[in-house]
């Protein structure tokens, strides 16, 4: 999935991130993600919230939905 554009939805935080994968690693049920050129949306309404050049986070894999953009 490296350098592929994806959507990652954090169901607990009600956020969807759309960006290009810089890195993605799974370790012990935790997913560490770094995205470039990211647009962030409210998941429940799909409303655009903001953009960032880069976003990185580590979350339990079970809370994340990942789709190709």
In a domain, 24, yes or no: yes
Nearest to 65 by CA among 31, 36, 37, 39: 31
The CA-based angle 54-57-58, given to 5 degrees, is: 155
pLDDT tens for residues 10-56? 999 999 999 999 999 999 999 999 999 999 999 999 999 999 999 99
Element (H, E) at 33: strand 30-42
Counted domains in the chain: 1
In a domain, 51, yes or no: yes
pLDDT at residue 2, as a whole number: 62
CATH number of the domain at 28, please.
Answer: 2.30.18
67 has a pLDDT exceeding 80: yes
State the average pLDDT over residues 53-63.
96
pLDDT at residue 3, as a whole number: 76
Q: What is the pTM of this model?
A: 0.92
């Amino acid at each position: 999935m490296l350098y592929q554009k994806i959507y990652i939805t954090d169901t607990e935080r009600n956020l969807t991130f759309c960006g290009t994968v810089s890195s993605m690693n799974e370790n012990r049920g935790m997913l560490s993600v770094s995205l470039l050129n990211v647009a962030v949306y409210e998941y429940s309404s799909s409303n655009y919230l903001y953009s960032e050049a880069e976003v990185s986070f580590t979350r339990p894999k079970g809370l994340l939905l990942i789709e190709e953009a």
